[in-house]
Amino acid sequence: MALSISISLLLIFLSHFPSSHAEPFIGVNYGQVADNLPPPSETAKLLQSTSIQKVRLYGADPAIIKALAGTGVGIVIGAANGDVPSLATDPNAATQWINSNVLPFYPASKIILITVGNEILMSNDPNLVNQLLPAMQNVQKALEAVSLGGKIKVSTVHSMTVLGSSDPPSTGSFAAGYQTGLKGILQFLSDTGSPFAINPYPFFAYQSDPRPETLAFCLFQPNAGRVDSKTGIKYTNMFDAQVDAVHSALKSMGFEKVEIVVAETGWASRGDANEVGASVDNAKAYNGNLIAHLRSMVGTPLMPGKPVDTYLFALYDENLKPGPSSERAFGLFKTDLSMVYDVGLAKSSSSSQTPSGKVTSSGWCVPKKGATNEELQASLDWACGQGIDCGAIQPGGACFEPNNVASHAAYAMNMYFQKSPKQSTDCDFSKTATVTSQNPSYNSCVYPGGGGGAAGSKAVMNKYVSSDKVEKKNGAIDPKMIVLMSSDGQSFEVEEAVAVQSQTIAHMVEDDCAANGIPLANVTSKTLAKVIEYCKKHHVDEANPISEDELNKWDTEFLEIDQSTIFDLILAANYLNIKNLLDLTCQTIADMIKGKNPEEIRTLFNIKNDFTPEEEEEVRRENQWAFE
């Protein structure tokens, strides 16, 4: 097995069984334009009490870098715009910059990225723009000279104004005036495996279009969504639309494989009278829902299954920043280290994920009496777009009948609520939902929740179940079929109700993208056949129910296969977003390595150990839970 595949599997496996705070895709910006910031040592302690795994500095403050030593927190340091001319024209200046800002601290301080300049392309300074790429190249060479070229990446940061087109997302492209300069930068990023860093701000998008529907779209709240007229994909939030527009722009230049990093995004908690949308409630909604969206691992419509590394803006308010009041009001924490508002970042409150995936709460989230079908449909679409498992309300699912908006919305609302930190705002859905202590489960349709009460009390009939029946022809319904196409060109005709156990496929079906078959570029025919076999067995058939014991026995026999095939199934389940199959395969690997030391695991999986002792210790420190 190729080493690259082993690494991919390792990343999936580690992300599947994380500790309650192992969320490497969540970072924060640490700005210092203030005169009241706490000491760096206190900030380091604060960060360790949260699920924040990365920090972006705009400079290279040695006190902060040193304070973060040994914490495992990834650090992004920056070369200022004013440093660019000397870095571009004098390789010795780049060497000295690395000698001063990296070597005294690395690897104890986990420096992962150097950003050369901030939004330089938008500076309207042609000399500075022309010097940007040479500066990046000299910094890269200076890193390579001390054997850090593959360990610390080099990039630069752009604002969304670098795009000439962003709506619809599939037509995203860079503005003509920037394309010449960007081509060399993108080639550099591609050659070095460095990310394209961008600053998307739905906050500013709302200020330019302050309608209620735009606010809901920007805050990840229930809304009608916006359909990309070119692809038919429906977007339920502005963040995904902006990030996918950047992805399309990269693709249009031939660099779609360059990773995107969101270097800044946030929402102001206050502002001047003319700054619409700046409030604590909106800031809490945006940042909290964004974090939940990232944690869902659903990705974006054009980049499914992978959260984009995102740095929230900002750690603290910066009281000396010029401009409107909002510029001084993006902080998540006050300078006394208390929260401005709670978005679930504290380790004690962050959502944990266990191998069982079970969740509990003190009740169930259901629609309010009087909510209209239009409102509930918007809530249904939004909830299922946030990465929750809506397979039960797909055709053939345990909760598909009755096939009406109210019943499906009730299930989706509750699934979102159970997955969230379960604050009152998590069961709001634009004032159309409420928390109930009455279990809405019915027949074989089980609503998670209730704090254990569901197991101890008889489920009542779901009040959203009506007597209406789905119209049948000759007493039966012909199953709808779709075609799945493997990466090696084979086609499989499958019942839609079976295939939509994959959330990736379900979203494509919902977006009417299945008419001409669904290509699965990352799944071979051999693996796809196994996936379909699994989904057929796990498809809920009310006419021919299967006991849990029988299904567990079948699962055990299903995975009596070679190691390579199990690995292929893990990759496929992750790509197709089939949670139960991913749980099963990852648990199988977990059972295989239980009780084994690292050397035995390397032998078992034929993994080459090319880590230095320092790097191995770093991995152990960051994933301490895995070695306990």
Predicted pLDDT of residue 372: 87
Cα–Cα distances in angstroms (integers) from residue 576 to residues 244, 418, 493, 563, 571, in the given order:
19, 23, 17, 20, 9
Higher pLDDT, 623 or 153: 153
Judged by DSSP in three states, 468 sits in coil
Domain residue extents for the chain: 20-328, 364-456, 481-594
Q: What's the mean pLDDT in 43-52?
A: 94
Q: Which two tokens stand for residue 129?
A: 């723009």
Predicted pLDDT of residue 18: 45
Concerning whether 617 is annotated as a catalytic residue, the answer is no
* Least reliable range by pLDDT among 183-187, 261-265, 588-592: 588-592
Q: Which two tokens stand for residue 266?
A: 């946030």
Predicted pLDDT of residue 182: 95
Q: What CATH architecture applies to the domain 20-328?
A: Alpha-Beta Barrel (3.20)
End-to-end CA distance of the chain: 28
CA Rg value for the chain: 25
Q: What's the mean pLDDT in 573-599?
A: 83
Determine the longest span between alpha carbons in the chain, in angstroms.
82
Q: Which two tokens stand for residue 2?
A: 């190729």
In sequence order, the 6+-apart residues with CB closer than 8 A to the CB of 52 are 26, 27, 28, 73, 345
Q: Which two tokens stand for residue 29?
A: 């910006």
In terms of DSSP bridges, do strands 173-174 and 111-118 run parallel, antiparallel, or are they unpaired? unpaired
Query: Looking at the domain 481-594, which fold is it?
Result: Potassium Channel Kv1.1; Chain A (3.30.710)
Q: How far apart are CA 112 and CA 155, in angstroms?
A: 11
Q: How far apart are CA 514 and CA 250, in angstroms?
A: 26
Q: How far apart are CA 306 and CA 294, in angstroms?
A: 8
Predicted pLDDT of residue 451: 52
- Most confidently modeled range among 238-242, 372-376, 611-615: 238-242
Predicted pLDDT of residue 349: 43
Concerning whether 264 is annotated as a catalytic residue, the answer is yes
Contact 232, 299 (CB under 8 A): no
Q: What's the mean pLDDT in 307-320?
A: 96
Name the residue among 74, 77, 70 with its Cα closest to residue 25. 74
* Least reliable range by pLDDT among 17-21, 248-252, 384-388, 499-503: 17-21
Residues forming beta bridges with residue 153, ordered by sequence position:
113
Contact 505, 518 (CB under 8 A): yes
Predicted pLDDT of residue 271: 96
Q: How far apart are CA 315 and CA 334, in angstroms?
A: 8
Q: Which two tokens stand for residue 514?
A: 């299945």
In sequence order, the 6+-apart residues with CB closer than 8 A to the CB of 268 are 203, 275, 277, 278, 283, 325, 326, 327, 329, 330
Q: Which two tokens stand for residue 443?
A: 């027949």
Predicted pLDDT of residue 443: 73
Q: Which pLDDT band holds residue 450 (cuts at 50, 70, 90)? A: low
**pLDDT surpasses 80 at 210:** yes
What is the torsional sign of CA 52, 622, 297, 556?
Answer: negative
Q: Which of 23, 264, 375, 401 is catalytic?
A: 264
Outline where DSSP puts E strands in 110-152.
Answer: 111-118
Mean pLDDT of the chain: 84
**pLDDT surpasses 80 at 598:** no
Predicted pLDDT of residue 395: 78
Residues forming beta bridges with residue 303, ordered by sequence position:
300
Q: Which pLDDT band holds residue 154 (cuts at 50, 70, 90)? A: very high
Higher pLDDT, 135 or 8: 135
**pLDDT surpasses 70 at 1:** no
Q: Which of 119, 495, 496, 618 is catalytic?
A: 119
Q: What's the mean pLDDT in 592-615?
A: 72
**pLDDT surpasses 60 at 227:** yes
In terms of DSSP bridges, do strands 153-159 and 111-118 run parallel, antiparallel, or are they unpaired? parallel
φ, ψ for residue 511 (rounded to 5)? -90, 15
